[in-house]
Structure 1
Amino acid sequence: MSAAASDQTGRIARSAGAVGIAVFCSRILGLIREQVLANLFGAGTAMDAFVVAFRIPNLLRDLFAEGALSAAFVTVFTDYDERWGRARTWRLANVVLAVLTLLVGAIALVGIFASDKLVRLMAPDFALVPGKTGLTVIMTQIMFPFLPMISLAAVVMGILNAKGKFFVPAMASTFFNLGSIVSGVALAMILPRYGVPAIIGMAVGTLLGGGLQLAVQTPLLFRVGYRFQWVIDWRDEGLRRILRLMTPAIIGLSATQINVFINTFFASSCAEGSVAWLNYAFRLLQFPIGVFGVAISIAAMPVVSRYASQQDHEGLKQAFTSSLVMTLLITIPASVGLAVLAEPIIALIFQHGRFSAADTGQTAAALCFYAIGLFAYSGVKVVVPVFYALNDTRYPVIGSFLAVGANFLLIILTLSTLQHRAIALATSFSMILNFVFLSSVLYRKVQGYPLKYVGWCLVKVCLASAIMGLSIHWANAFLQPLAGAGLVGRLFALLCIITFGLVVYGFLLRFSKIPEFQELIKLLQGLGGQRATRP
């Protein structure tokens, strides 16, 4: 690897490290939020209703905020920043923020009035349980204004990322979780005194958390030079470029949301609690996706966009390859660890209050199947921005619809046998198909990237992960008596097992000569050194 490529790998690793630390904090609080929900509401009617109610505006958030809009905006904003100067760049930001406020605000308003129909469409079997549909509708209406708040927060995050600011935007979701936990729990304790279901408090808390996620980024936004002006210009060329990029991307992401709709539809027809089991399992899967996959994607996106803007395809390929290898280095062992330790992890985090041992078993079964596709989830987040940077969103659209077809077919074939586990398995399989398709198309589109190098790295990582998996399986069996010694015993045993697994994996890859692994080690050593030198 050349000196320039090594420096680029290090830069992406450092940026990803900053994002990863921030996202780690957010995911920890996210898990605490799920713990609170599990403890207060278990996996029954109230929790099923909350999951579906939150999922409806969340589907649109993925379309208009953290998915299509975010990637398209960063691509165009970075290009403006490189080529057109400060005034035009900030004007573009104001145009996008103003137009987004109007459009997404109108969508949220329509969604509030159409909540009843949306809930009955997404979860028709909820009507079989008295009051379940009505409860879901009320919470959907409460949480719909979350959509414009989080959409504006995504644009602000894109501006800050393009300006090289990663930590604060990534920390913003930490404040969402913190705000939703504190306000949600407080309201959940107060509202039942007035005859209002406690779960409604968590819905209101979610809305307040979304507002906090936007508010916490605004001071830094002004420090990087932004000044708000209400500018609506539908003819603005930058806005039109973003919309052109977004349109096929929205079609592609709509396929992903169709998958979510299909999964929710089938899950609502399974045993009571299936929606909640799948939700808890997927929340755990989102921890490594967010900390590693999203962090690397966010760090690499401005780099890839600048190379594309400069027509430097060699630099673009190097940035993509480094990002992909870093993703594989982290997510493959993480998927093995989640599969092997699914039950003890879920028991430690969720098995309290109204969340039973039976709930732990069902959630762990779903997590094992979700873990199969972890590397693909994160890999897609790295691959798709490259297509955006190259102004080609056709193939992500095609890949998304291939994933929909595969997901639907596999659920139909396995639902009667596997029940809710079929949904997790189908989700993983469809994401792997999407990742393989996009990686293959990109290889042809950029006239090849170092596939042999990626392949050898993959072999080394898989071998090390398999040995690590066997090691932690043995360690889990050995420390099983500690797991029965209460919460402290379970926590101590799990920490020992995870530490042992990391040591085994790190030792096996120490002599692998994978530059990205060396950069990750340097990053960890640098973080440790910074802590050591602090007064």
Structure 2
Amino acid sequence: MSEKASSSTGRIAKSAGAVSGAVMCSRVLGLAREQVFAGMFGAGYAYDAFVVAFRIPNLLRDLFGEGALSAAFVTVFSDHDTNKGEEATWQLASNVLSFITVLLSLITLVGILLAEPIARLLAPDFAQVAGKTELTALMTQIMFPFLILVALAAVVMGMLNTKGKFFVPAMASSFFNLGSIIGGVSLAWLLPKFGQPAIVGMAWGTLLGGLLQLLVQLPALRKTGFRFRPRLNLRDPGLRRILWLMLPATVGLSATQINVFVNTNFAASCQEGSVSWLNYAFRLVQLPIGVFGVAFSIAAMPVLARHAAQKDMAGLRQTFSSSLVMVFSLTIPAAVGLMLLAGPIIRLIFEHGAFTAEDTARTAEALICYSCGLFAYSAVKIMVPVFYALNDTKYPVISSFLAVAVNVLFITLTIDRLSFRAIALSTSCSMVLNFLFLGFVLNRKLAGFALKQLAIGTLKIIAASAVMALGIIGLKMLLSSLLQGRLPMQLVGVALLIGSASLLYAAALHFLKLPEFDEITGKIKQRFRK
């Protein structure tokens, strides 16, 4: 690895470390939020309605949150920051913030007016249960403005990331979860006194959390020198370039949302609780996706964009390859661990109050199926920004539609036999296909990207993960009495399993000498020394 490439890798590992810590905090709070839902509402009528209601504004969140807007904005903002000076950069930022606010306010208004027809379209089988569609529509109306808040938060995050500030924006989602938990639980306790369902309080809590996610970033943004000046110039070349970059991704997003629509529709038609089981399981798998995939994506995006702006293709190739190996080194063992420990983890986190042993078993089955595609899901988070950096977004669009076709076909063929499990397994298969297709295209576009380094690194990671898996299986048998005991005993058992597995994997990978993993552990050691 060249000295320059090593510098980029180290910078990404350092930034990803800061982001990972913040995202870990957010995801843990997210799990606490799900524990609140599980304890108060279990899996069924109320939580099914909440999941579908939140999914409706969330269909647009991927576009205006962590998806197309974020990647397109960082690409253009980095180019302005590198080549056009501070004044032009801040003018672009003000213009984008104004445009997004106006556009999403109009979309939100339409969404609120059409909430009930949208709810009926997304989950038609809810109509078979009295009041379920109406409850879903009410919570959709409450949560739709969340879209505006999360989009503005994503633009602010992109500005801070480009200026080298990663920790504060990554911590912002922790405040979303805090607002959701504290505000939601308080209102869930209060609203039934006024004749409203308790779950509606959690919808208002979600909106409060979105507001906090935006506000907590503003002091850090002010310190960078940015001052918002309202301006709306639709002819601004920078804004037009962002929209042009977003256009193919918007088309691609429509494919993703078709997948979401298909999955939700199928899940709603399965036994009651299926929507909830799938959502609880996906929340768990989002922990490693966020801590590893999203963290490395956020850290790598400005570096990739800067390499592209400087026409440094060799640096871009090396940065991408190293980032991919680092992501694999963390997500492959995470997937293995989730598959082997699905039951004990879900029992520990969720099996309290209204959440039953049956819910634990069904959620564990969904989690195992989702975990199969964890490595691919996280890798795609790294791949898509490369296409943005290269100003070529048509291939992610093509890949998205291929994934839709595979998803619909797989679910149709297996839903009768696998029930809700077909949806989780299909999601994994679709994401693996997405990863393989994008990898093939990038290999050609970048004239090769250190395939030998990638293959050797992946084989070492698989070997170390196999050693870890054997250790988990043996230790799980020894600790079976703890894992079936009361909550404190379960906590000790799961902590021992995860801690031992992590140490065993780290030792195996250190013995196999993976440079990218040494970069990660080196940055961790530096942080602890400080």
Q: Corresponding residue for 1:381?
A: 381
Q: Corresponding residue for 2:421?
A: 421
Q: 2: distance between equivalents of 1:58 and 1:247?
A: 19
Q: Corresponding residue for 1:16?
A: 16
Encode CA deviations 1:122-169: one digit per residue, 9 max, x unaligned.
000000011100100000000001000111000000000011000000
Q: 2: distance between equivalents of 1:252 and 1:458?
A: 29
Aligned positions of 1:195-234 closer than 5 A: 195-234=195-234
Q: Secondary structure at the match of 1:449?
A: coil
Q: Corresponding residue for 2:152?
A: 152
Q: 1: distance between equivalents of 2:227 and 2:484?
A: 58
Q: Specify the code of the residue in structure 1 equivalent to 2:212.
A: L
Q: 2: distance between equivalents of 1:521 and 1:161?
A: 23
Q: 1: distance between equivalents of 2:395 and 2:304?
A: 18
Encode CA deviations 1:195-250: one digit per residue, 9 max, x unaligned.
11000000000000000000000011111011111110000000000000000011
Q: Corresponding residue for 1:501?
A: 501
Q: Determine if the alignment matches structure 1 residue 447 to structure 2 residue 447.
A: yes
Q: Superposition RMSD on alpha carbons, in Å?
A: 0.7
Q: 1: distance between equivalents of 2:338 and 2:256?
A: 24
Q: Corresponding residue for 1:277?
A: 277
Aligned positions of 1:153-302 closer than 5 A: 153-302=153-302
Q: 1: distance between equivalents of 2:52 and 2:503?
A: 40
Encode CA deviations 1:32-79: one digit per residue, 9 max, x unaligned.
000000000000100000000000001111112221100000000000
Structure 1 contact 297–382 (Cα < 8 Å) conserved: yes
The Cα shift of 1:478 comes to 1.1
Structure 2 contact 396–438 (Cα < 8 Å) conserved: yes
Aligned positions of 1:92-103 closer than 5 A: 92-103=92-103
Aligned positions of 1:432-443 closer than 5 A: 432-443=432-443
Q: 2: distance between equivalents of 1:3 and 1:83?
A: 25
Aligned positions of 1:376-525 closer than 5 A: 376-525=376-525
Q: Determine if the alignment matches structure 1 residue 362 to structure 2 residue 362.
A: yes
Q: Corresponding residue for 1:128?
A: 128
Q: Secondary structure at the match of 1:511?
A: helix
Q: Secondary structure at the match of 2:234?
A: coil
Once the two structures are overlaid, the 10-residue window that deviates more, 480-489 or 406-415, is 480-489
The Cα shift of 1:500 comes to 1.0
Q: Specify the code of the residue in structure 2 equivalent to 1:150.
A: V
Encode CA deviations 1:463-509: one digit per residue, 9 max, x unaligned.
11122112112211210111232000000000101111111111111
Q: Specify the code of the residue in structure 2 equivalent to 1:296.
A: F
Q: 1: distance between equivalents of 2:105 and 2:306?
A: 32
Q: 2: distance between equivalents of 1:394 and 1:29?
A: 36
The Cα shift of 1:512 comes to 2.1
Q: Specify the code of the residue in structure 1 equivalent to 2:510.
A: R
Q: 2: distance between equivalents of 1:525 and 1:63?
A: 36
Q: 1: distance between equivalents of 2:483 and 2:383?
A: 40
Structure 1 contact 145–207 (Cα < 8 Å) conserved: yes
Q: 1: distance between equivalents of 2:155 and 2:507?
A: 41
Q: Determine if the alignment matches structure 1 residue 324 to structure 2 residue 324.
A: yes
TM-score scaled by length of structure 2: 0.99
Aligned positions of 1:69-80 closer than 5 A: 69-80=69-80
The Cα shift of 1:527 comes to 2.3
Q: Corresponding residue for 1:533?
A: none
Q: Secondary structure at the match of 2:43?
A: coil
Q: Specify the code of the residue in structure 2 equivalent to 1:470.
A: L
Q: 2: distance between equivalents of 1:170 and 1:521?
A: 20
Q: 2: distance between equivalents of 1:523 and 1:278?
A: 35
The Cα shift of 1:526 comes to 1.6
Q: 2: distance between equivalents of 1:526 and 1:491?
A: 30
Q: 2: distance between equivalents of 1:306 and 1:46?
A: 47
The Cα shift of 1:331 comes to 0.1
Q: 2: distance between equivalents of 1:235 and 1:171?
A: 34
4+ runs deviating over 2 angstroms: none
The Cα shift of 1:383 comes to 0.2
The Cα shift of 1:529 comes to 1.6
Q: 1: distance between equivalents of 2:126 and 2:485?
A: 39
The Cα shift of 1:194 comes to 1.3
Q: 1: distance between equivalents of 2:7 and 2:308?
A: 18
Structure 1 contact 278–363 (Cα < 8 Å) conserved: yes
Q: 1: distance between equivalents of 2:325 and 2:37?
A: 36
Q: Corresponding residue for 2:82?
A: 82
Q: Specify the code of the residue in structure 2 equivalent to 1:276.
A: S
Structure 1 contact 267–420 (Cα < 8 Å) conserved: yes
The Cα shift of 1:376 comes to 0.4
Q: 2: distance between equivalents of 1:482 and 1:512?
A: 33
Q: 1: distance between equivalents of 2:80 and 2:213?
A: 26
Q: Specify the code of the residue in structure 1 equivalent to 2:489.
A: G
Structure 1 contact 63–254 (Cα < 8 Å) conserved: no
Structure 1 contact 41–354 (Cα < 8 Å) conserved: yes
Encode CA deviations 1:339-386: one digit per residue, 9 max, x unaligned.
000000000000000000000000000000000000000000000000
Structure 2 contact 472–501 (Cα < 8 Å) conserved: yes
Structure 2 contact 79–306 (Cα < 8 Å) conserved: yes
Q: Secondary structure at the match of 1:268?
A: helix
Q: 2: distance between equivalents of 1:66 and 1:38?
A: 26
Q: Secondary structure at the match of 2:269?
A: coil
TM-score scaled by length of structure 1: 0.98
The total of aligned residue pairs comes to 530
Query: Identity of paired residues, percent?
Result: 61
